[in-house]
């Protein structure tokens, strides 16, 4: 970490929403909080809640790359330069044994939406004194974190009045569809979902995950989020049959119900209540997420929702610099005092 003008605190939160979750993941979580220069707490300040992507963690926000600032360092630079008014940055930990939760409530994973919107927000406001108003709260994220931000806009607009979605999961036919045959082949060879996951975890501990493991893990985690089934292995119904690989239309339909391309149009009333809605995606995104973003924006604008939409010339990874853009926009719109 580079020297910052502000401070970064590591706090610990005990989440009632995550207590007894089905994966046995810890309910006690680290929480990393950025405080701007000159502030010993967050009294009178708005807060931005940052959601990491799939296979990320709260501590991952601190990972250092050569010459590239971390997101907390980027926030500090913006505040120190006066480009963003002082605010509190909250870097949330959403790691699970499957790599992520999509920041939603699922009986196969746990209540991660409640964890964020109720436990984390409540803890931050009680502990640091940030402003307890929706107009003073923003939620931002990238990839699965961007998806989580969109879900918060639909499901919890009474908590967050501002959101930014960077390359969020949307357009499931294109972004998840290519992973299905890859996952089917790996699960068939391994003898099922539970056996594959056990072997993958062992590989990661002994050496590292293989290059072809990510699509399989992604399908298992998304199945747990979108098509939970207590009678299925890992508590998740897969969208294909084995050994044939035939698509299971009734399960795939459950996934599509969670696709922003499908759920945004009937939820326009919730999005109209937001003060800020920012969506972007790289024009060379490897998961084809630009198309989902375009379709979501098209639906929002057709419904009279004001949205800032940008495309930029880049892919999916290594785009933390895009937080500079959303923070400049959000920072001046957050309520204060």
How confident is the model over 265-278, as pLDDT tens digits? 999 999 999 999 99
The angle subtended at Cα 100 by Cα 286 and Cα 150, nearest 5°, is 70
Kindly state the greatest CA–CA separation across the chain. Answer: 62
pLDDT at 204: 93
Residue 1 has pLDDT above 70, yes or no: no
What is the percent of the chain with per-residue pLDDT over 90, rounded to a whole number?
Answer: 96
For the residues 327-336, what does the mean pLDDT come to? 96
Can you point out the beta strands (E) in 174-315?
A: 276-282, 308-312
For the residues 243-258, what does the mean pLDDT come to? 98
- Please report where in the chains the tokens 């605190």 appear, as a residue: 9
pLDDT, tens only, 20-37? 999 999 999 999 999 999
Q: Provide the residue ranges of all domains of the chain, joining segments of one domain with +.
A: 7-171+260-331, 174-257
CATH code of domain 7-171+260-331: 3.40.50.1820
User: How far apart, in whole angstroms, are the C-alpha atoms of residue 280 and residue 309?
Assistant: 6
3-state secondary structure 29-43: EEEEEEECCCCCCCC
Q: How many residues does the chain have?
A: 337
β-strand partners of 280: 166, 310
**Mean per-residue pLDDT over the chain, rounded:** 97
Spacing of C-alpha 261 from chain mean position:
17
Among 217, 234, 237, 215, which residue's Cα sits nearest to residue 226?
Answer: 237
Q: pLDDT tier at 57 (50, 70, 90 boundaries)?
A: very high
User: How far apart, in whole angstroms, are the C-alpha atoms of residue 4 and residue 92?
Assistant: 20
pLDDT, tens only, 197-225? 999 999 999 999 988 999 999 999 999 99
Taking the alpha carbons at both ends of the chain, their separation in whole angstroms is: 31
Q: pLDDT tier at 171 (50, 70, 90 boundaries)?
A: very high
260 vs 68: which has the higher pLDDT: 260
pLDDT at 65: 83
Contact (Cβ atoms closer than 8 angstroms) between residue 175 and residue 53: no
């Amino acid at each position: 970490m580079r020297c910052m003008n502000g401070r970064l605190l590591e706090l610990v939160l005990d989440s009632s929403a995550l207590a007894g979750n089905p994966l046995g993941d810890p309910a006690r979580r680290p929480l990393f909080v950025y405080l701007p220069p000159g502030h010993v707490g967050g009294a009178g300040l708005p807060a931005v809640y940052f959601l990491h992507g799939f296979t990320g963690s709260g501590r991952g926000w601190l990972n250092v790359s050569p010459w590239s600032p971390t997101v907390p360092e980027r926030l500090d630079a913006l505040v120190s330069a006066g480009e963003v008014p002082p605010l509190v940055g909250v870097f949330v930990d959403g790691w699970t044994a499957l790599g992520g939760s999509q920041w939603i409530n699922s009986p196969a994973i746990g209540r991660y939406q409640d964890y964020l919107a109720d436990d984390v927000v409540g803890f931050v406001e009680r502990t640091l004194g940030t402003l307890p108003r929706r107009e003073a709260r923003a939620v931002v994220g990238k990839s699965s974190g961007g998806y989580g931000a969109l879900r918060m806009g639909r499901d919890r607009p009474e908590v967050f009045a501002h959101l930014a979605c960077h390359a969020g999961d949307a357009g499931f036919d294109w972004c998840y569809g290519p992973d299905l045959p890859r996952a089917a082949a790996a699960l068939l060879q391994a003898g099922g979902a539970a056996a594959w996951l056990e072997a993958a975890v062992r590989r990661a501990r002994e050496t590292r995950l293989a290059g072809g493991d990510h699509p399989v893990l992604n399908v298992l985690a998304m199945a747990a989020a979108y098509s939970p089934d207590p009678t299925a292995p890992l508590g998740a119904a897969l969208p294909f049959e084995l050994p044939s690989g035939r698509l299971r239309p009734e399960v795939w339909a459950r996934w599509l119900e969670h696709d922003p391309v499908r759920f945004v149009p009937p939820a326009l009333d919730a999005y109209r209540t937001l003060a800020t809605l920012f969506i972007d995606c790289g024009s060379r995104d490897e998961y084809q997420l630009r198309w989902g973003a375009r379709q979501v924006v098209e639906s929002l604008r057709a419904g009279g929702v004001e949205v800032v939409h940008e495309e930029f010339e880049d892919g999916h990874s290594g785009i933390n610099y895009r937080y500079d853009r959303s923070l400049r926009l959000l920072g001046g719109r957050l309520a204060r005092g």
